[in-house]
Each structure stands twice: as structure tokens, then as C-alpha cells.
Amino acid sequence: MSQSNRPSDLVRRALVLTTVFGAGLALSAQTPIRPVQASTATVQAVPSLNVQAPALDAASDSLFSSSTAEDSTAATPAGTQMEASLSPLPVNFANAMQYGGGQRRYGRPRYRGGDSNQDGSNKYTFVVGGGFTQPLGNTWHYLTPGYGFQFGGGRNFNRNLALLLQFDYDHFGFTGQTLTNQTTIYNSPNVYGAGAVSSLGGSSHVWSFTVDPTFTLFSGEGLGAYVVAGVGFFHKTANFTVPTTGTYCDPYYGCFQYAANQTIDKYTSNAPGFDGGFGLTYKFSRFSNERFFVEARYVFVDNSKRAGITVNNIGSITATTTNLYPANSNRTTYLPVKLGLRF
């Protein structure tokens, strides 16, 4: 009768596992564990960075000397090299943070170009405008308000002072009394004869070239103000006309008549004069150079009075009398009010 061998197999396997586990414990017991030894190295504390500007005195120039920095490094012990490397640098970090750092060199400032002054204003200026003209003083007795225009240009020396060369034209009419008096004179026997002149008309004008210094009182992004004064040459003209009918012939359309004014008498007077006034400006945009302006000036023309015929001495007219309107040589005063653009 055969017996089972299962118990013997289990015993054999248990002995193998016990032998392996015991060998592992024996090997681990033979490996020595090294004790931890205290390190002899000394840990240096890292100093904080000095960002304050060093005080400057008579000896502070050495702060920026390369030889001083080398001597300081050489004298530093080897154990404190880390501390020496973090010593205050020859840079003022406070100023660097505030002004951008470093030592800056400032030369001549740069401007917008050759057309600008040192303060940024344009070197050249121009003006164009028009408006109405009011006679003043004695001129008001024989001339009526009219119109005028002006244009000119010149040099800006800076933001406030400019010098302009300017042309002005101012046109006037004659008062009704002036035309009546002149009609009486022209219809005298020694001029054109009775009834020769009717419906007398005419006009007067003054044109001038002046040099005008201009001073800007203030000039903001909107409103501005300036004063102006000038002196120059003035030419005054008086022109008397009568209505007439003319005839024009065209080879294709034939002849036709037209009404026109015919000059029957004319006078001129040249004289020096001056002007002065005040103006306001308005800037359309903060980025533009153009300014709208309105100004008023007082103009005085120093004409030289000449003898002539008036209604008061009409009886003294002779065939050789030439000056039938002496008022044209009277001193002339008027107030032109102009508006336009300055740029």
C-alpha cells in the first residue's frame, strides 16, 4: 500500500525559504553603517544689498577709482570674498531708479528742424485777412465806411516777437455832402459848365506797405492775444465818376450798349504813416499751426495839405485851376477791422 509524499514536500519548501531569509539577514548585519560627522565648514550669512547712495566728501572720489577697487579686492581675505563681492558698487542706485541710471551728457538740444526757433516756434509767419474800415476824425466828414483786405509775412524771432512786412488795401465811399459839393464845383462855368455833370459818384482808397512788429501777449491752446504797431508808405486816391453808356461790337453777335462809370477827375497823395492795434487769436486744434484772428488798428496817414477849390471859394476858380478836391491831401485817420488766418 503506497503512502503519499505531500508532507515531505512542504517540509522541504519551508527549509529552503528559511535558509534564504537567514542568509539575507546575515549579509545585512555584516554591512557597517557610517556615523554622520559634523561638518567643519562655516556658513557665512549673506549680507543685504546696500541701495543707498554713499555720502560724498573730499575723499569720495575714490569711489569711482578703478585702482581703489583693485586694492580693496586684494586686501579681502579668501573667506570673505562673497561679502566683498556684495559691497556697495560705484553706482547710485537711488538716482538710477529716479532718473534712468548712469551719468548723462547734455549737449545742444535738438529742435524740429531748420524752420523752428530754439523755443520750438516757427521761424516764419504769414497772415491773410479782410474786413471793414471805419473813417475817423475829420476823414469821417467826407468818406464813408468801406472794406479792406491784407496779406503779409515775416520772421518770428521767438514765441512772442515777430516782424512782418504787410500790404493793406482799404476802400471808402464818399459822403452825400461831398458828392453834392463836387457836383457844384464841376458845373461851374470855368470847369465843365452848368448842367454838365449829374449823378456824380466815386470812391477813395488807401493802399500801404508797412513794417509791423508784433508782440504776442499770450498764446494758449485756444485763445491768444497780441499787440501790433507799424510804420510805412501810404498811397491815397480819390476818383470821381459819372455814369455813361458805352458801345461794344462783336463780329459774330453785333453791337450792344452797356452802362459804365467814366472817371472825370482823380487825385492822389503819397505820405508816410503808422498804425497800431490789438488782436485776438483762436487756435482750431492743439496740433495745428493756423490761428483764426480778429484785430482792430488805428491808422494815421500824415498827408500834406494842399491848396484847392471848395464850395467856400468856388468864385476863385480859373481855367488853370487843377486841384478841385483838396480834401484828398488832408491828414487821414481810420480804423480797419480785419479777420482771417495766421499761420
Closest CA relative to residue 265, chosen from 308, 322, 304, 313 = 322
Q: What is the CA radius of gyration of the chain?
A: 52
The vertex-237 CA angle with 232 and 240, nearest 5°, equals: 170
**Percent with pLDDT over 90 in the chain:** 50
Q: How confident is the model at residue 13 (pLDDT cuts 50, 70, 90)?
A: low
Per-residue pLDDT, averaged over 135-150, amounts to 97
Q: What is the pLDDT of residue 72?
A: 44
CB atoms within 10 A of CB 9: 10
- Topology of the domain covering 124-239+268-342: Porin (2.40.160)
89, 95, 97, 101 alpha-carbon torsion, rounded to 10°: -70
Q: How confident is the model at residue 256 (pLDDT cuts 50, 70, 90)?
A: confident
Q: What is the pLDDT of residue 21?
A: 55
Q: What is the pLDDT of residue 10?
A: 57
User: Is residue 279's pLDDT more than 80?
Assistant: yes
Tell me the domain boundaries of the chain. Answer: 124-239+268-342
Tell if the pTM clears 0.85, that is, is over it: no
Q: What is the pLDDT of residue 254?
A: 84
| Residues 305, 327 contacting (CB under 8 angstroms) | no
User: Is residue 287's pLDDT more than 60?
Assistant: yes
Provide the CB-side half-sphere exposure for 206 (13 A, CA): 35
| Contacts of the segment 194-197: beta carbons below 8 A, 24+ positions apart | 197/242, 197/264
Per-residue pLDDT, averaged over 228-242, amounts to 97
Instruction: Mention every residue, 6+ apart, whose C-beta is less than 8 A from residue 118.
Output: 109, 111, 158
